[in-house]
Amino acid sequence: MKLSEINLSELMKVFGPAWLVMLADVDAASIITAMQTGASTKYEFIIVLLLLIIPLYFIQEVAGRVGSVTRKGLGHLIRENFSRKAAILFSFPMAAADFLSYVVNYAGIAIGMSILGVPPIITLPAVYVIHILIVYNKKYASAEKVLLAFSIVMVVAYLVLMSRGISNYPLLPNINSGFFFLLAANVGAVIMPFMLFYQTTATAQKGFHSVQATKIETITGAVASQAIMIAIVIVSSGLSPNAAFSSTHDVASAIMGIGGANAPAIFAIGLVAAGFLALVVISMASAWGVTEALDIKRDGWFKIYIIESLPAVIVPLLYPNLISLTLNLMVALVFVLIGPVIALGLLAQNNKLMGKHTLSTFDKMAFWSSVLVVIVCGLIVFI
């Protein structure tokens, strides 16, 4: 089946996992990374963010393809085709790193709600309960509809903000030591380990499977996610790199100066939607990965889902300034990605497993080149 033969009805049946994982990729941590990037380099990283669409698409397309063909999650496939130890080795570091993601996303939601006038002591417990209720006693398809609504709110909010903040800054990057750290942070922000586990398992759980339709959804989500990152960079380009993130009041005041009186509220709504979407998607991916690696019954994933992010609710109340932690987390995630992404590529090359959808020569070149670019960009900060 060719891309031109995919009809809208078929695409809508598949639509969900790839789009959501791409939008969840623009979580509170990625937004903070984009804000720091815009404040520090103005528009110099826009070209880099556009180029990152390429590895983002080729890596995530393989995740969707494997899930669509095998109808099994990545943790399950690694355990079956490699070993239980390998599945644990790849899924547990992801789950550990995801804890920091929970912290940052809870913090991002708290910041957004604080701008809207709701204190963290009320916001954080409420968000924790709501993120459980969304998936409680529901099939994946039901939870997916709620998450799609959050993704739409997020897209609209940041595109509206971008239209208010466009200035005339140079696009060519200034190559220095700060550039390489931000490069590593943005690469870590664009492709995270949870994305591989989520897209593979969520695609497998869909009732309708089409590799070609998944390709279309993946490229659409890749472009949309990077468009949002660029929008945040543009909005943040007028902020001070030294003082813009010292407090919620400073963030709101600075954004108001760029986009007008309503800009802080729009930014806050987008931040809350992004943080909540990511919180649920990352929690699901982490719980799926651990459950599949340990070969726990499918119902067991919900217990992990409940427990894993609970401690992270407390951290933003104790440590409100998480900017430095966030940027370093983005760099660290590149290393956590290495094991699962290599396993994913080997699975996608398995003729017995993938049949006619095994990676072609071009697909292999595109995938492994993308993986190499991501790893090198993560390592370059230490050179």
pLDDT bucket at 371, cuts 50 / 70 / 90: very high
Instruction: Give the pLDDT confidence of 27-65 residue by residue, as tens digits.
Output: 887 887 788 888 888 888 899 899 999 999 999 999 999
Nearest-angstrom CA–CA distance, 102 and 279: 6
pLDDT at 323: 57
Q: Give DSSP secondary structure letters for 109-138.
A: HHHHHHHTT--HHHHHHHHHHHHHHTTTT-
pLDDT of residue 1: 46
Q: Is the pLDDT of residue 228 over 50?
A: yes
* DSSP code string of 47-79: HHHHHTHHHHHHHHHHHHHHHHHH-S-HHHHHH
CATH number at residue 78: 1.20.1740.10
40 HSE (CA, 13 A, CB side): 20
How would residue 318 be classed by pLDDT, with cut points 50, 70 and 90? confident
> CA dist 352 to 209, 348, 349, 359, 362, Å?
19, 10, 9, 12, 19
Percentages helix, strand, coil for the chain, rounded to the nearest 5? 80, 0, 20
| Span 309-332, average pLDDT | 69
Whether the CB-CB separation of 213 and 10 falls below 8 Å is answered with yes
Backbone angles phi, psi at 354, to 5 degrees: -100, -15
Split into its structural domains, the chain has a count of: 1
Q: What is the pLDDT of residue 327?
A: 57
The continuous run of DSSP H or E covering 221 comes out as helix 211-236
**What is the pLDDT at residue 122?**
93
pLDDT digits (tens, 9 = 90+) for 268-311: 898 899 999 999 999 999 999 999 988 887 677 888 899 888 88
Encode burial over 318-351: b for 16+ CB neighbours within 10 A, e otherwise.
eeeebbebbbebbbbbbebbbbbbebbbebbbee
For residue 78, pLDDT beyond 90: yes
The pair of three-digit structure tokens given for residue 41, joined into one six-digit string: 């380099």
Angstrom distance (rounded) from CA 132 to CA 138: 11
Q: Measured between alpha carbons, how far apart are the two ends of the chain, in Å? A: 45
Domain boundaries, position 25: 3-382
Query: Closest Cα partner for 110 from 330, 263, 280, 318?
Result: 318
How far is C-alpha 178 from the geometric centre of its chain's CA atoms? 23
Mean of all residue pLDDT scores within the chain: 82
Please enumerate in sequence order all residues whose Cβ is within 8 A of that of 301, keeping only pairs 6 or more positions apart, or say none.
Answer: 284, 287, 288, 290, 291
pLDDT band for position 244 (cuts 50, 70, 90): very low
Structure tokens at 175: 């190559």
Q: Indicate the Cα dihedral angle 26, 32, 35, 36, nearest 10°.
A: -130
159-215, pLDDT tens digit by residue?
887 776 566 665 666 776 677 777 777 777 777 888 999 999 998 887 667 788 889
C-alpha–C-alpha distance, residues 31 and 259, integer Å: 17
